[in-house]
Structure formats: structure tokens, C-alpha cells
A = this chain, B = another copy of it.
Amino acid sequence: MAEMNRPRVGVIGLGSMGMGMAQSLLRSGFDTWGCDLRAEARQTFEAAGGQVVSAPDEMAAQIDVVMIVVVNAEQTRDVLFGAHGIAAGLAPGSVVIACATCAPEAVAALGDDLAERGLLLLDAPISGGSVKAAQGALTVMASGPAEVFSKVENVLDAVAAKVYRLGEKPGQGAQVKLVNQLLAGVHIAAAAEAMAYGIRGGCDPQTLYDVITQSAGNSWMFENRVPHILAGDYTPHSAVDIFVKDLGLVFDTAHRDKFPLPLTAQALTMFTQASAQGYGREDDAAVVKIFPGVALPDRAANDSAEEG
């Protein structure tokens, strides 16, 4: 802990986001440990110069800060407090940075449970996608006490282009992240609905994209995801099932408070339908495939057009 100016960092979860973050930390000169169940992910990180373990508790004594980059609150609790959880082995005063998209209440409860063991929590969900993760250019929507921020400021700077400080309490970052996910999910589904409607109405898909991106109907997601539809390429950057999860979480938090979210509910149904039709692991733009009788651009046609 004497090294808090340049803490030793562990990253749990070397998926498309965590791997980029762990490698960004290495590039910034941090002594960095990576943890993942998958041997392939460990090998990739080791080849990049990182140190690796297959279970969280194995690196507890080697690190001062742990970033948890898993998919939800349940997994976050498991890597902290489960059979191989890291919390028991961390020195008091160590910082846990929770990056998964979680319900605000779940994050607040996590903070209480960590405090009981003398550990500190930063609520720090991330946004930006795997490309920005690899560049160390994520957006972090963080909340926590000022003294926790100051302990990990240089760690956050290594992975993020922009760190928002959204309050003193864990859960405030999570709440803003959920608002972002609500909009992101609804906008992807709206982009799909608009393209399906326009193509069915005889519009040329590329022309539609060109006009809408210059008009009041544009969104960040329309601009980013519709090119996947135009190319007929549904290789997952972020999968349909991620929005089944995230919009489900948004919907559940509101439903518990008896608060209506009509568009969220509808978009959640659309992603769920796409998943049920077998597109869960395709790129989230594949939600366009739920619209029947639409002549979507075809990947093979695009490829041969490029060759011709």
C-alpha cells in the first residue's frame, strides 16, 4: 500500500472490455494482474506482458486496486465474496472499482459489505465499446467518496478519456449508466425499425443512411450501428443479448418502483424476440431481423459487389 501513487492493479474479467483496459494499464506502466477463467484470455494477456491468475483470490496479496469487469452485479459479488472471492485476501484500504452495469441498489449494498471489511468501493460503470477500451479512451460514469477517487485517479486516467464524478455515493454512477443504456437500447431498436420501414417502402438503404445522419432523426447509435445493416455484417461488436440484459435491468429497477417505461419495455421485447429467434449472439443491429418481409442488404452481395 506504500505504492498508492502507482498502485498495483488487478483486472478481473478479460473479455472485450476488460482485456483492453488491462492492456491500457500495462501501457501506462502499472504493475498489472489479469484474472479470467478462460486460458485463452490469460495467454493473450500474458503475451502482452501481464501477470495472470485463473481465480480472483490468487492475486489478492499482489494488488492494491481491483477493477471488476464482469457482466452484472451477481458476477461482481461472486468474484468478491464467492468460493474464490478476492475480498477476504485484500489488505484494508484497498480499492474495488466496480465496472459492470448494475442496479444502483446493488452497488450501494456492495459498498456496505466492502466497508465492513475495511475495503473501499468506487462505482465506475464504463461506456465506449471494445475499440475505445483498447485505446484507453473509455467514458467512466463514477461515484464514490473524494478520498477513493484520489487513490485511483491515475488508474482511471489510464483506461478513460473522460471520467465523470457523479457524486459521493456508490450507486449514483450506476444510475446514470442505466439512463445511458435505456437510450442506447431504444435508439438501436429505433434505428432497426426505421431502416426496416424505409427499405420496405422502397428507399435505397445507403441513401437513407446518408440523409438521416444529416437530419434531425440522427442518433449516435443510428450512425454507429446502421453500417452493420448496410454491410449485412452481424459479427458481434456488442451482442443482442447484452441489451436483453441491460434493458431488462433498466426495466426491473423501474418496475420495482412501479414506474412506467413504455419505450424501454417495447425495445426490451424487440431484443428478446431477436434472441428467441436465434440472433442473441449476433451484433445488436440484428434486432432488424425481427421485421418480416424486408429485403435487408446481404453480406455475400456486398462482398461480390466489392470484388466486381
- Taken together as a complex, chains A and B put the C-alpha atoms of A202 and B267 apart, in Å, by 24
A139–B183 contact, CB under 8 A?
Answer: no
What is the bound-complex CA distance between A266 and B193, given in angstroms? Answer: 12
B220 touches A216 (CB 8 A): yes
The residue from B162, B215, B224, B261 contacting A197, defined by CB atoms under 8 A apart = B261
Say whether A159 faces chain B, with CB atoms less than 8 Å apart. Answer: no
Contact between chains at B261 and A270 (CB < 8 Å): no
Q: Name which of A58-66, A90-98, A206-214 contacts chain B.
A: A206-214
Please report which residues of chain A, range 164-218, place their CB below 8 angstroms from some CB of chain B when the two chains form the complex: 164, 166, 172, 175-176, 178-184, 186-187, 189-191, 193-195, 197-198, 200-203, 207-208, 210-212, 214-218
Shortest Cβ distance from A293 into B: residue: B259
Nearest Cβ on chain B to A287's Cβ, whole angstroms: 11
Docked CA distance A104–B197 (Å): 13
B175 pairs with A219, CB closer than 8 A = no
Q: Say yes or no: is A291 at the interface (Cβ < 8 Å to chain B).
A: yes
Collect the chain B residues with CB atoms within 8 Å of residue A207's CB.
164, 166, 176
Asked if A175 meets B190 with Cβ closer than 8 Å, knowing A212-B183, A220-B216, the reply is no
Q: Assess whether A166 is in contact with B261, with CB atoms less than 8 Å apart.
A: no
What mask results when residues 257 to 276 of chain A are scored 1 for a CB within 8 Å of chain B, else 0? 10111111111011000000
Task: Check if A267 sits within 8 Å of B260, measured CB to CB.
Answer: no
| Cβ–Cβ < 8 Å partners of A193 in chain B | 182, 186, 261-264
Number of copies of this protein chain within its complex:
2
Residues in B whose Cβ lies below 8 Å from that of A175: 198, 201-203
Q: Given A141-B211, A259-B197, A266-B262, check contact A219 B179 (CB 8 Å).
A: no
- Which residues from B are CB-within-8-Å of A210? 164
Name the B residues within 8 Å of A266 (CB-CB): 262-263, 265-266
A230 at the interface (CB under 8 A from B): no
CB neighbours of A166 from chain B (8 A): 203, 207, 211
- Chain A residues within 8 Å of B, Cβ to Cβ: 104, 127-129, 139, 141, 162, 164, 166, 172, 175-176, 178-184, 186-187, 189-191, 193-195, 197-198, 200-203, 207-208, 210-212, 214-222, 224, 250, 253-254, 257, 259-267, 269-270, 291, 293
Task: Jot down 12 A-B pairs with beta carbons below 8 A, ordered by A.
Answer: A175-B203, A176-B211, A183-B191, A183-B222, A186-B190, A186-B193, A187-B217, A193-B261, A197-B250, A200-B257, A219-B219, A219-B221
